[in-house]
Structure 1
Amino acid sequence: MQQGQFEKIKNGKGFIAALDQSGGSTPKALAAYGVSENAYSNEDEMFNLVHDMRTRIITSPAFNADKILGAILFEETMDRKIDGMYTADYLAEMKGIVPFLKVDKGLAEESNGVQLMKPINDLDETLNRAIERHIFGTKMRSVIKEANLEGIKAVVEQQFELGKRIIAAGLVPIIEPEVDINSSEKEKCEELLKTELLNHLNNLQENENVMLKLTIPTSTNIYKELIDHPRVVRVVALSGGYSTDVANEKLKANDGLIASFSRALSQDLNVNQTDAEFNEALAKAVDSIYEASV
């Protein structure tokens, strides 16, 4: 792990861009970008189109290290190239942006008010490839829908169990137990989640560091204790379905919490925009998310 990258993520000003829509969410991401499903006839063509979209975002002058600390990639993207360089190398060397990799395989069926992650059977192999591709950290997501203590314990336990394997491989895991913004018990979920996270953080060794990616909380600054925890490199927030404006407003209220938005970053981008229009729309999103993060 590069010390310079660690410092940037821990203390840098800016946010983390989430460019990790995977197989399941790619058609939706492409549709939002103005590419309909009849523009491709198989998965390969779909992934080519989404890589074109990501390449356009990453190579845009608006996508720069002044405002963006890191970017989360989908596995497909890690193995593809931008201007002849592997995506992570392009990000790190041409842009000064720290690359992360989404490693989860999606969500299991709901049980006890939560969705755990599906088993990640090839985790060790993926981590080895990530290291070869100069990836700094990983991200994996579970979802909490109800204030069910047993379910929330299971989510956090699974996240930290895998997190420790990721740390042992030399990468920094982003632990993402998302609380559904539509949950009628959102605030209660967040209280239970915070307690569970603290229990696990307090059991980490001094050389075991994690990042957390959390839904912007209902109760402002409830996560301050997590943000200040010595084992936490950074706490980032997901937009969770909020529009950019709403997510930014909520984010601003929470001290020390920075954005890791996906949809909110790309919602105004369109395949038919000229480069000037595209860059302007992206710059506007980047600036607003940056302002909310600092």
Structure 2
Amino acid sequence: MLAKVSTGAGFIAALDQSGGSTPGALRRYGIEEDSYSGEEEMFDLVHQMRTRIITSPVFDGERILAAILFEQTMDREIDGLGSAEYLWQRKHIVPFLKVDKGLAEPADGVRLMKPVPGLDALLERALSHGVFGTKMRSLVLEADPAGIDAVVDQQFELAGRILDAGLVPIVEPEVDIHCPQKATAEELLERALLVHLDALAEDRSVVLKLTLPEADDGHRRLLAHPRVLRVAALSGGYSREEAVERLRRAEGVIASFSRALTEGLSAQMSQAEFDAALDASIEAIRAASAT
């Protein structure tokens, strides 16, 4: 798994919508909120959607390095296997787990992560399912140095606990694509990330998941850092067309797309239509990740 994540070709599929983002994901998939009742039915439907994606013959380990799962997805089965076990054993796709519990209210131009109670127990469960690593998201709204430092401090505090548990963290301090000083925020974020990366022991490494940069070489120093296994980019609300174009120009960065990956998929499609649409999406993202 380590070799695949650090040197393999392809990209990371983000299939980790949690409670707050699941209604929107289902709506884009053609399932309106008035067609289900309660969280249990909602999560059943989103698991059916994810199962349809993961079991599709076009969702393969040749083009997809890894997939990020929501906790409830990890605890469910696909074709008689745990979801994480299915990914690795049947598809040779490395499983990651989203561990954050959502975002706190804005302060100092950022949204920190909410507290993550029970993290140690969750990491133990992840290891029991064969999960390789974790993902946790914060959000930068403005180019505020104090806020950005707080985001990175929190990310690496949790990353240390995750590394202690034997898992590899994906550190995701997203810069909002509507940030009024996005390029400045990205420069401040890079500076803060480098401080923490420089402080990591030689036997510790992380994956970075960052917003597609304003400068095409905006992640150059992070890509070169010896403590960084991989730099991935989130689609961040860009359309797939724009996300793929920005990614194509960001040499060395691979995708970790969610909304852009599933754009255009619909519950109403026949299986042949669904597979064809997913195949086109995967191939466009794979090609842009290869630059």
Same-fold call, TM > 0.5? Answer: yes
* Shift of residue 208, structure 1, vs aligned partner: 1.2
- Residue equivalent to 1:172: 168
Structure 2: state its 5+ residue gaps: none
Contact 1:208/1:231 (<8 A) preserved: yes
**Structure 1 residue 6 corresponds to structure 2 residue 2:** yes
**Structure 1 residue 280 corresponds to structure 2 residue 268:** no
Contact 1:91/1:97 (<8 A) preserved: yes
TM-score normalised according to structure 1 size: 0.98
Structure 1: state its 5+ residue gaps: none
Residue 199 of structure 2, aligned match among 203, 206, 219: 203
**Backbone CA RMSD of aligned residues:** 0.5
Give the distance between the partners of 1:45 and 1:105, measured in 2 at CA: 21
Residue 239 of structure 2, aligned match among 239, 243, 258: 243
- Secondary structure, aligned partner of 1:119: coil
Matches within 5 A, 1:109-188: 109-188=105-184
Give the distance between the partners of 2:35 and 2:119, measured in 1 at CA: 33
% identical equivalent positions: 58
* Shift of residue 88, structure 1, vs aligned partner: 0.4
- Residue equivalent to 1:49: 45
Give the distance between the partners of 1:181 and 1:173, measured in 2 at CA: 23
The one-character-per-residue Cα deviations of 1:195-254 (angstroms, maximum 9, x if unpaired) are 000000000001111010000010111211101111001000000000001001001111
Give the distance between the partners of 2:204 and 2:161, measured in 1 at CA: 10
Give the distance between the partners of 1:186 and 1:289, measured in 2 at CA: 23
- Residue equivalent to 1:227: 223
Q: Count residues in correspondence.
A: 290
**Structure 1 residue 77 corresponds to structure 2 residue 73:** yes
Letter in 2 for 1:195: R
- Secondary structure, aligned partner of 1:92: helix
**Structure 1 residue 94 corresponds to structure 2 residue 53:** no
- Residue equivalent to 1:31: 27
* Shift of residue 123, structure 1, vs aligned partner: 0.6
Letter in 2 for 1:210: V
Contact 1:164/1:208 (<8 A) preserved: no
**Structure 1 residue 16 corresponds to structure 2 residue 29:** no
The one-character-per-residue Cα deviations of 1:148-204 (angstroms, maximum 9, x if unpaired) are 100000000000000000000000000000000001110000000000000000000
Letter in 2 for 1:217: P
Give the distance between the partners of 1:163 and 1:133, measured in 2 at CA: 20
* Shift of residue 79, structure 1, vs aligned partner: 0.1
* Shift of residue 38, structure 1, vs aligned partner: 1.6
Give the distance between the partners of 1:257 and 1:92, measured in 2 at CA: 23
Give the distance between the partners of 2:97 and 2:104, measured in 1 at CA: 20
After TM superposition, where is structure 1 displaced by more than 3 Å over at least 4 residues in a row?
none
Contact 1:257/1:293 (<8 A) preserved: yes
Give the distance between the partners of 1:233 and 1:39, measured in 2 at CA: 42
* Shift of residue 122, structure 1, vs aligned partner: 0.9
* Shift of residue 22, structure 1, vs aligned partner: 0.3
Residue 258 of structure 2, aligned match among 256, 262, 272: 262
* Shift of residue 25, structure 1, vs aligned partner: 0.3
Give the distance between the partners of 1:36 and 1:190, measured in 2 at CA: 36
* Shift of residue 121, structure 1, vs aligned partner: 1.1
Give the distance between the partners of 1:77 and 1:71, measured in 2 at CA: 11
